[in-house]
Structures are given as structure tokens and as C-alpha cells.
């Protein structure tokens, strides 16, 4: 959760959000936390967590949190924080702007997890699943709030997996907090809706200002869901036969992987198991001991120094 920028940027509306996003490298994870209102340091708070952009084949996944003193939570109703999926983009943008304006009452934070960082986690040597990435991001947000002095008391987390195990895990990490992990928490708890809106708006705008490192000049790539014709078109039109896709795309998604099978050169990757170079032919069949023919004089083998370095003699002197 460290922000590499020297002077802290403050996001106060959509345009400062956009400039924050466009100034950050889009191939690295980026975090932001709003200034903490004094009331959030003084009075016990509720804190909600939700994510946006888990499913799509392109763009970042954004984890968001919002927090407000328990006694002020009526404000969330006034701000019309409801299930973010039931709101349209325009409405979400408006509510986000209003959340920013209430900076004396409530705060928020996001972590933008770069698409390439998701791929690298999923395609690494030791698998780091999307669920684990998600949990760690949520944990990071709770920590950031605590580290910045928010008096967190109740935590509400939206989950896609099994809530019980996740809840237990979070409770083991934060024994002093009351933690509720629930499915569809964003439609049940207004504070989770607020978090969800922050996450969704951040994701949408991060795509809006997406600047391709690869120098591709494309502004339309659709929602990123496999069924979206604009996304389909994008994946067909912007495939490099060697590198595949720009790093906006999540290579680890089957949609992308399947498309590459058809449109790009085949690449053989190292298999994870192949890694330990077990010495070959160490096992002999038991019957070999009973062979009548005396074994031939052992062929002259090269010293390990050479075999370990894949060196062999190519020219007879």
C-alpha cells in the first residue's frame, strides 16, 4: 500500500481521479487513500470492502473501501449508496463525486491491481490464485485504514467465494474487529455499496485514460466481458503474433488464451514439474541384473562439470 509519489495527490472529483490514474504506471499496482476525516479517527467507524472488474478479460481489478463513523452512517442513504450494479455509470460517477465532497465525514481508498500483475500471479511458478490476490488486497485496505488512524470497529466485506472460511481468516488477522463477510454485501450494506462505487468508478476511469505502453491507439475495447462484441473485435484486431496482446489484456483468462491459439505463434513454455532436473536413467529394470551378456566396457562419460553446463564435444580432435 505504499504510494511512490512524493507529494500526496488528493482526489477530489472525477477529473483529479483521472489525472491520478493517468499519471500512474498502468502496469503496476497503484494504491490511493483519501485524507482521513478527523471524525473517523475519533469515533468508531464502519468500513466496507468490495471489488470491481474481477471477471473481465481486460483492465485492472480494483479493490475499494469506504469508511464512516457509525453515528454518521445515515449520510450513506442521503448519498444514495445502493447496489452499484443496479446503478448506471453516470449515477455512479455522480455519487462518487458526492462521496469526495463529504471528505469531512467519510473516507475511501482503492487498490488498482494491474492486469499484468494478475497474470503474473496466476502464471507464476507457484500459483497465486485470484482469490488469494483478492483477499490480500482486502487485507491491505483494512491495514491501510488502520495505519492511517481510522478507528475501525465493524468491517463488511463482499465475497464471491465461501464467506465462512474467508471471514474466519480475516478474524484471525484482525481479532479486535467485528468482521462480516457476506455474498452480495453491496446490496445489503450501504457502506459496501459506497466501497463498490469507489472501486467501479476507479476501474471505469482507469480504462478511460488507459494509455497503451505498446503505442496502440485504440480507445474502444468494450466492457471486457467475453460476450461483448467490442471486446471481441479488440482481441482480434490487436493481436501481435509474437507478443500476443498489450498488457491491458489478462493473458491468464481462457478467452485470451484461446484467441492466442488461433491468432498468434505457438509458444512452448517450460512446465512447472520439469524443473527439478532429475538425473536420467538412474532406474534400472530388475531383470537387467540377470542378463547373460557381460556389460560392455563403460562408455567414457564426461565429467559433471561439462554435463551440468550442457557442454558436449562437437568436434573430434
Which residues fall in the annotated binding site for a divalent metal cation?
A: 50-51, 158
Question: CA torsion sign, 272 to 277 to 279 to 281?
Answer: positive
Residues contributing to the annotated binding site: 50-51, 158
Q: Measured between alpha carbons, how far is 70 from 47 in angstroms, rounded to an integer?
A: 9
Cα 243 to Cα 121, 137, 214, 247, 265: the distances in Å are 18, 29, 11, 10, 9
Q: Please, are residues 47 and 189 in contact by the beta-carbon 8 Å criterion?
A: no
Q: Measured between alpha carbons, how far is 304 from 302 in angstroms, rounded to an integer?
A: 6
Smallest separation, CB 317 to another protein (Å): 11
Please report whether residue 273 would count as binding another protein according to CB under 8 A: no
Selected from 309, 313, 316, 317, the binder of another protein by CB under 8 A is 309
Q: Which three cell numbers stand for residue 195?
A: 466501497
Smallest separation, CB 238 to another protein (Å): 11
Angle ∠(158,68,184) on CA atoms, nearest 5:
15
Is the Cβ of residue 115 or residue 222 nearer to another protein in the bound state? 115
Residue 178 is inside which H or E element, if any? strand 178-183
Selected from 129, 149, 230, 243, the binder of another protein by CB under 8 A is 243
168-173: which pairs have CB atoms within 8 A and are 24 or more residues apart? Answer: 169/135, 170/138, 170/139, 170/142, 173/139
Rounded CA Rg of the chain: 26
Selected from 122, 160, 180, 182, the binder of another protein by CB under 8 A is 122
Please report whether residue 311 would count as binding another protein according to CB under 8 A: yes
Please report whether residue 300 would count as binding another protein according to CB under 8 A: no
Is the Cβ of residue 219 or residue 266 nearer to another protein in the bound state? 266
Q: Measured between alpha carbons, how far is 89 from 97 in angstroms, rounded to an integer?
A: 12
Selected from 70, 213, 236, 302, the binder of another protein by CB under 8 A is 213
Please report whether residue 247 would count as binding another protein according to CB under 8 A: yes
Q: Which three cell numbers stand for residue 53?
A: 472488474
Please report whether residue 124 would count as binding another protein according to CB under 8 A: yes
Stretch of 50-58, 65-73, 135-143, 308-316 contacting another protein, by CB under 8 A: 308-316
Q: Which three cell numbers stand for residue 95?
A: 455519487
Which positions ≥6 away from 279 have C-beta within 8 Å?
none
Selected from 5, 178, 265, 302, the binder of another protein by CB under 8 A is 265
Question: Binding marks (x or -) toward another protein, 88..117, rule CB under 8 A?
Answer: ----------------------------x-
Residues of span 10-69 touching another protein by CB under 8 A? 27
Please report whether residue 241 would count as binding another protein according to CB under 8 A: yes
How many residues sit in the footprint of another protein (CB under 8 A)? 35
Selected from 123, 218, 230, 302, the binder of another protein by CB under 8 A is 123
Q: Please, are residues 255 and 235 in contact by the beta-carbon 8 Å criterion?
A: yes
The residue ranges that bind another protein (CB under 8 A) are 27, 116, 119-120, 122-125, 213-215, 240-247, 250-252, 260, 265-270, 305-306, 308-311
Amino acid at each position: 500500500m505504499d504510494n511512490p509519489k512524493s507529494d500526496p495527490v488528493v482526489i477530489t472529483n472525477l477529473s483529479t481521479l483521472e489525472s491520478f490514474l493517468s499519471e500512474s504506471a498502468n502496469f503496476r499496482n497503484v494504491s490511493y487513500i483519501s485524507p482521513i476525516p478527523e471524525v473517523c479517527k475519533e469515533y468508531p467507524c464502519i468500513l466496507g470492502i468490495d471489488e470491481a472488474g474481477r471477471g473481465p478479460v481486460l483492465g485492472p481489478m480494483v479493490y475499494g473501501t469506504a469508511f464512516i463513523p457509525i453515528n454518521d452512517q445515515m449520510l450513506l442513504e442521503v448519498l444514495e449508496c445502493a447496489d452499484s450494479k443496479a446503478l448506471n455509470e453516470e449515477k455512479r460517477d455522480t455519487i462518487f463525486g458526492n462521496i469526495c465532497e463529504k471528505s469531512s465525514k467519510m473516507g475511501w481508498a482503492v487498490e488498482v491491481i494491474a492486469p499484468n500483475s494478475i497474470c503474473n500471479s496466476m502464471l507464476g511458478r507457484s500459483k497465486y490464485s485470484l482469490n488469494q490476490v483478492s483477499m490480500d488486497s482486502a487485507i491491505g485496505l483494512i491495514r491501510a485504514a488502520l495505519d492511517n488512524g481510522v478507528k475501525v470497529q465493524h468491517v463488511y466485506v463482499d465475497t464471491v467465494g465461501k464467506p465462512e472460511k474467508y471471514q474466519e481468516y480475516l478474524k484471525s488477522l484482525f481479532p479486535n474487529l467485528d468482521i462480516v463477510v457476506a455474498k452480495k454485501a453491496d446490496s445489503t450494506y450501504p457502506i459496501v455499496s459506497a466501497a463498490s462505487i469507489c472501486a467501479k468508478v476507479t476501474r471505469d476511469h482507469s480504462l478511460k485514460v488507459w494509455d497503451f505502453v505498446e503505442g496502440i491507439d485504440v480507445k474502444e475495447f468494450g466492457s471486457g466481458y467475453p460476450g461483448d462484441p467490442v471486446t471481441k473485435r479488440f482481441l482480434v484486431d490487436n493481436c501481435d503474433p509474437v507478443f500476443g496482446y498489450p498488457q491491458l489484456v489478462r493473458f491468464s483468462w481462457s478467452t485470451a488464451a484461446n484467441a492466442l491459439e488461433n491468432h498468434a505463434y505457438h509458444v512452448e513454455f517450460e512446465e512447472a514439474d520439469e524443473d527439478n532436473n532429475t538425473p536420467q536413467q538412474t532406474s534400472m529394470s530388475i531383470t537387467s541384473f540377470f542378463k547373460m551378456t557381460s556389460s560392455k566396457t563403460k562408455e567414457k562419460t564426461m565429467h559433471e562439470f561439462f554435463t551440468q553446463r550442457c557442454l558436449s564435444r562437437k568436434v573430434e580432435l
